[in-house]
Chain A
Amino acid sequence: MKDGPLTEHYEPFESPAKNLINGGQSTPNLTFGSAKSVKPSDPKKYPIVCTTYRMTEHWQTGGMTRNIPWLAEAMPKMFVEMSLELAKEKGIANGDQVRVFNDRGDIEMMAMVTPRFKPFTIDGKTVHQVGMPWHWGYASGYATGAIANDLTPNVGDANSSIPEYKAYLVNVEKA
């Protein structure tokens, strides 16, 4: 094992918050992909936490499911979910086209403004989170859309090399 066996708290490669438990910030044993993300994103430029997740209507990158009209109709558009508070701050209304971007990528999609996302208060500061599915792409399908993994860091777990695609930093703007 490259890391372990005892558990430790590390912040993700990109984080808006300081690690208050461990003396350092993130794990020193990260593995990097061949297209190395040289630096973690600057929380001052990209203060918003982003995560990716799945929908029931599509599977993986949607290569198969977006080719089925019933499923494409069930969930047609790529979107990013955000809190009412963040939307108000950025002047974004539900359904607006928005840009989500960092030093690695810049993608556009529909904004889904919802009370199911709420801002956090971390270390006395407000920290916003947005989330997006990663089922879309442009190569084929009855429904196409932006590729979420254009934004994610090429960073892997020390032991398994599983990429850290679920916690990274972005900024959001009305397109």
Chain B
Amino acid sequence: MTESAILYDSSKCSACKGCQVQCKQWNMLPSSMVKDGYESTGSYQSMADLNGDTRLLIEFREKDTPAGVEWAFSRRACFHCTEPACMDVCPVGAISRLDDGTVKLDSSKCVGCKYCTAACPFSVPKYRENFGVSNKCTLCDDRVAKGIEPACVKTCPAAAIFYGPRTEMLTKGKARVAELKVAGFNKAELYGETQMGGMHSLFVAKFGFEAHGLIRDPKKPDIVTLMSIIKPLTGLGIAAIVGGLGISFLSSIGYTRDGLTEELETADEAAKEEK
């Protein structure tokens, strides 16, 4: 099966948040119904980060430069990595990679241990308090299975989000970056080609990775790698100790305190006796 990907073009995005709201509607994720009980970030951004009820967030970053203000919009959601750190640490195998590259977190299997949140270099999976499970963008695998595009792609009025075969999305993204450079946006670059083994959610960063809050060289946290070493090491250690104690047991069979054979005196004992 060919691998698919989403392509987000921050240079076409109007930050209308249609995708953010549509994702919630399609996945039946609630917003608070407490009057005036919403978070305020001091900017157009709706909330500080993704949460258990929000799988897609439009972020706003602004930087003043002599050439004008760089108002960088970002579509923050799961990047669907080819080498997902979350999948490595899930103790119940609730996270798997589908043939098309989607990294699927099956909430019906999730036990809410939050190891995935800790392992993700982007802290994307979030815990849903009332449900006791974690969740994240599913790349609308339910829609894709029926042959329709993800909800955010369908709803975007600025034609800034696309979905299709990954090779096509890569070509499209690179072409757009080239166009942007010609237009004078010389920091434009494409995110997701090789990061984390290659991502299935690509991002045309109009002002460069850092301006959009993207980690330039993301890696699985060292601790995840260390944990994967500790487990087999512990197994080895237990085997060694049990083996050693087994030998000790065998050597102790038939032991009686009075029947000890002639003992070789150690130097210390000889010295002690002399005192």
Contact = CB atoms under 8 A, between A and B. Distances in A.
Asked if the two chains touch in their complex, CB atoms less than 8 Å apart, one says: yes
A74 B17 contact: yes
A144 B35 contact: yes
B50 to A, nearest CB: 13
B211 to A, nearest CB: 14
Interface in B10-64: 14-18, 20-21, 24-25, 30-40, 42-44, 46-47, 62-64
Contacts of B17: 56-57, 74-75
A153 B224 CA distance: 62
Of the four ranges (under 10, 10 to 19, 20 to 34, 35 or more), the interface on chain B belongs to 20 to 34
A76 B71 CA distance: 21
B36 A70 contact: no
A84 to B, nearest CB: 8
A74 B36 contact: no
B31 A70 contact: yes
Contact of B36 (A94, A114, A116, A143): A143
Interface string A51-91: 00001110000000000011111111100000000000000
A29 to B, nearest CB: 38
Given A74-B21, A116-B71, A144-B36, A69 B43 contact: no
Interface in B193-232: none
A168 to B, nearest CB: 24
A112 B43 contact: yes
A94 B71 CA distance: 17
A73 B16 contact: no
B32 to A, nearest CB: 6
Given A56-B14, A115-B64, A116-B69, A73 B46 contact: yes
A27 B44 CA distance: 36
A114 B32 contact: no
Interface in A38-52: none
A110 B38 contact: no
A32 to B, nearest CB: 36
Contacts of B37: 142
Contacts of A70: 21, 24-25, 31
A144 B38 CA distance: 11
Nearest to A114: B62
A95 interface: yes
Given A56-B14, A56-B16, A76 B33 contact: no
A57 B36 CA distance: 16
A70 B28 CA distance: 11
A116 B62 contact: yes
Given A94-B42, A115-B69, A72 B31 contact: yes
A160 B40 CA distance: 39
Contact of B38 (A56, A76, A95, A112): A76
Contact of A69 (B16, B31, B39, B42): B31
Given A110-B40, A112-B42, A74 B20 contact: yes
A19 B16 CA distance: 37
Interface in B54-81: 62-64, 69, 71
Contact of B21 (A71, A94, A144): A71
A76 B36 contact: yes
Contact of B46 (A74, A94, A115): A74
Given A57-B17, A69-B33, A116-B62, A76 B40 contact: yes
Given A76-B38, A142-B35, A143-B36, 9 more contacts: A56-B17, A57-B17, A70-B21, A73-B31, A74-B20, A76-B46, A143-B35, A144-B35, A144-B36
10 closest A-B pairs by beta carbon, nearest first, are A76-B38, A115-B64, A73-B31, A69-B31, A56-B16, A95-B42, A94-B42, A77-B40, A70-B21, A74-B46
7 contacts: A74-B46, A75-B44, A110-B40, A114-B62, A115-B62, A142-B34, A143-B35
